[in-house]
């Protein structure tokens, strides 16, 4: 089965990001295909490389990056939601006249069209968050 994922909660706001991560990991272990993981609203906060949780807590951003590298996952951060929250890739930082970017490895920034495509191309779109 080809599965699309939508994450709309931040990594330290609610359980949504952790649940999405565990779901994706389990689905991959069962042989399912993850078409794309799309981060929207506060979910884009999963994609900042500047997150520094305490050492005794899980690092959900790092977990997503490692899972993406291992399984060649497409982790997409919504550009409009990311800009509102100060999350920029190198190109967007230059375009906006900023002196730095902070997108985490394995994540990329794109528009809502990627979410629409995810819903069309996937057998199921599973939503985590409100």
DSSP state of 45: G
Give me the CATH code for the 2-128 domain, please: 3.40.1260.10
The per-residue pLDDT for 70 is: 97
Is 78 annotated as catalytic? yes
Nearest alpha carbon to residue 109 among 49, 52, 67, 69:
49
Q: Render pLDDT for 49-92 as a digit per residue (tens, 0 to 9).
A: 998 889 888 899 999 999 999 999 999 999 999 999 999 999 99
Rounded to two decimals, what is the model's pTM? 0.95
Annotated catalytic residue within 7, 60, 68, 78:
78
At what angle are helices 16-29 and 60-71 packed, to 10 degrees? 20
Please tell me the total number of residues recorded for the chain in this structure: 130
Q: How far apart are the first and last CA of the chain?
A: 24
- Tell me the β-bridge partners of 39: 7, 77
**Domain edges within the chain:** 2-128
């Amino acid at each position: 089965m080809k599965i699309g994922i939508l994450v709309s909660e931040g990594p330290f706001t609610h359980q949504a990001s952790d649940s999405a991560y565990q779901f994706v990991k389990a689905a991959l272990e069962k042989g399912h295909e993850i078409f794309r993981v799309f981060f929207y609203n506060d979910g884009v906060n999963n994609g900042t490389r500047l997150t520094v949780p305490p050492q005794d807590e899980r690092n959900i951003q790092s977990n997503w990056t490692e899972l993406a590298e291992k399984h060649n996952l497409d982790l997409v951060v919504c550009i409009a939601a990311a800009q509102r929250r100060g999350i920029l890739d190198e190109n967007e930082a230059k375009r906006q006249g900023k002196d730095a970017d902070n997108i985490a490895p394995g994540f990329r920034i794109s528009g809502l069209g990627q979410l629409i495509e995810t819903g069309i191309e996937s057998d199921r779109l599973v939503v985590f968050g409100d």
